[in-house]
Every structure is written in structure tokens, then in C-alpha cells.
Amino acid sequence: MIRPEDAQFHPPTSDDPLWAETNYFGLYAGQDTATPLNIGVYGLFREPLGAVGSTVSVNSRRVTMPWAADYWDAWEHLVVPQPSNLLDYELANGLKVVCSEPNKVWDVDYSDPAAELELHFRFTGLMDPYDINDPAQDPMAAAKTHADKDWDLTWGHAYAGHFDLTGQVEGEISLRGATTPIDCVSTMDHSWGVRAERQTSRLSWMHAHFSKDLAVHALFDFGTDAGPDAPSPLTMTHGYVLENGKVQGLKGGGGTTWRTGFYPEAIQLSVTDSSDRTWELEGTALTTFPWQAWPGTVGHNSLHRWTCNGMTGYGECMDFIGLGELGAAYNRVLGTR
């Protein structure tokens, strides 16, 4: 169970210096236009080292280089402000975050005058945080169905503590003189554990938001053996459906992702919740962006337009692959010189 104090830093349960805590806010604006903006705000706090990595991205395009996006900024060695406080912090890159109601309300402000960027929004949770490690909340945790040792070595350690939370996002973004209102439903997360520099397994983190009354969020594993441009089956690890204020954990399901350069271009999902309802979803990519949350991984990020039972929604898919696995996958295609 996630408690209010879990919005704050946690005492490390390991002496590994790579212990980390993260906050990720993914959102979007202008989603019904020809150029929707996919926005990401991230902080990775390595408190034992006194360092913070932080990235901010704004992207309406199909790009495979981060600097080709509308905006990209990445810092790897910001100083953890003292006294350390995850409920109220301001970083030297221009990011300020205040959590006025733990695990419920965050106000996020970011300013980069040199790039003419101002980003301001409030995230308000529409549910209680979803604890993927709580068997009373998550059917997959209760069944202990995930036994992939590689997944456990990377994401099992990084997500030793983890919650996902769907909420309403309201604010505005101004970039190079163009101001766009933000009004969407999206999902943030917070995790704490040992976050290795080298990622040895994959993670597909995705969600589809149709309204305040319906959202689907899920995590999947997938393979890279077929190469960067081949479909890959999805194996679900955790997830939930938020419907009319009630959360139902997902107890099974999967799907297929069709890829170009490992970017998720099209997705078909079939997932079953704890009340035995099956949800069929299809997603089509509107953007692509190579998000390096930290140097050892690439999150192949796409904002998707989703359909389900005649409804249209939006949400991100981020397919994380470690650099070593990416190198091996491309070597199988391109060969060795």
C-alpha cells in the first residue's frame, strides 16, 4: 500500500550508491490538432551521490535525434538541494516542483529563458496511487507470475518501490512565442530502488486515456531478437483500469507492437481486469522521440492516439532498451565491419 509519506524520499534499503528515486510527469497538449505536443518532465535523484539527473522534452515530430525535437534539455549532475525534500524542490536547470497534497497534487514549473520556454501545470490525481508490488492491489503481484531474472535485475530492483497514478493535468506551455493550453488526463509515476546504469532488460510503459472516467495503464516486457523493424509480442507485468473513479488491477493479457527502428508505430492490446472484463485497444503513433532518461538506456517514446469501444484517447508508449542490447540487435541486422 502506498502511504502519504511515500511521496517523500525513502531511506535506502541498500548500500549501493546507485540507489535512486524518480518522479516522471508525461503530458500532452494540442492533442486534437495536426501537431500535438508530447511533453516529458523527469527527475532521477541519486541521493547517496548527491546528484540529480533531469530531462525536459517537448516534441510534436517524428524524430530519432533528441535535438531534432521541438525542445530537449538534459542534465546529469545537478546537485540535490539541501535539506533534501521531494515535496518541494527547485533545481538549477529551471525545474521547480511542489507537492502540496502528498500523492495527489503537484505543481510543476519549468523555465528556460534562453530557449523561450515556459511550462506550468498542475497534476491532480484521479485515484489512489497504484502499488505494483502490493498483492492486495495488483493481481500480477499476487500471482507472482513474472519470473524473468533479467527483468528483476533491472526493473525489479529499480521498481522495488513504485506507483503509477492517473490524473488531470491543467496548465499551459509557451515555446518561442506560441502558447498552448494544457488540459489532458495522463499518468505519472514515482519509483525508488537501485537504478542500475546498464539496463539488462526491456520495459514497455504505456497508457491510454479516454476521459477522466476511463484510462488504461500497463507495463509489458518484449523481445528484440527479431530486430528493430519487426513486430514483437508483449507480455504484461502489471497494470490497471481506472473506470468511473474505481481501479481494477489487470490480471492478464498481452498484445503486439509493430515497430520502425524500435519505435512503437502501432499497438494492439487485449487485457483482462480483476472483474474478468477484457479490454481491446489499438494505438497509432503520432510522434517519435528517443528519450534517454539516463545514459544507459533509450526510451523509444511515442504519443499514441488510442481507440477502444468506439472511443478515442491519447497516451504515451515508452519502450526502454539498454544500450548493450540495442547494439547487439543492430549488429545482427547490419553486421560487423
Q: Number of helices (H) and strands (E), helices first, in the chain?
A: 4, 20
Give the largest Cα separation in the chain, rounded.
57
Q: Answer whether the bond into residue 83 is a cis peptide, omega within 30°.
A: yes
Question: Phi, psi at residue 154, to the nearest 5°?
Answer: -100, -70
Q: What pTM was estimated for this model as a whole?
A: 0.95
* Alpha carbon distances (Å) from 261 to 34, 71, 75, 286, 291: 23, 21, 26, 15, 14
- Which pLDDT tens digit goes with each residue over 88-122? 999 999 999 999 999 999 999 999 999 999 999 99
Enter the DSSP assignment of 275.
T
Of the chain, the end-to-end C-alpha distance in Å amounts to 52
Per-residue pLDDT of the chain (337 residues; tens, 9 = 90+): 999 999 999 999 999 999 999 999 999 999 999 999 999 999 999 999 999 999 999 999 999 999 999 999 999 999 999 999 999 999 999 999 999 999 999 999 999 999 999 999 999 999 999 999 999 999 999 887 544 555 454 555 768 899 999 999 999 999 999 999 999 999 999 999 999 999 888 999 999 999 999 999 999 999 999 999 999 999 999 999 999 999 999 999 999 999 999 999 999 999 999 999 999 999 999 999 999 999 999 999 999 999 999 999 999 999 999 999 999 999 998 886 5
Task: Give whole-number Cα distances, 212 to 125, 208, 217, 236, in Å.
Answer: 10, 11, 13, 24
H or E element in which residue 149 lies: helix 149-151
- Report the chain's mean pLDDT, rounded to a whole number: 94
CA pair distance 56, 78, nearest whole angstrom: 14
Residue 117 CB contacts under 8 Å (≥ 6 apart), including other chains: 58, 71, 110, 111, 173, 174, 175, 176
List, in order of start, the domains of the chain with CATH numbers.
4-334 (2.40.370.10)
CB 181 within 8 A of CB 169: no
Q: Are 319 and 329 in contact (CB under 8 A)?
A: no
What does the alpha-carbon distance between residue 110 and residue 117 come to, in Å, rounded to a whole number?
A: 8
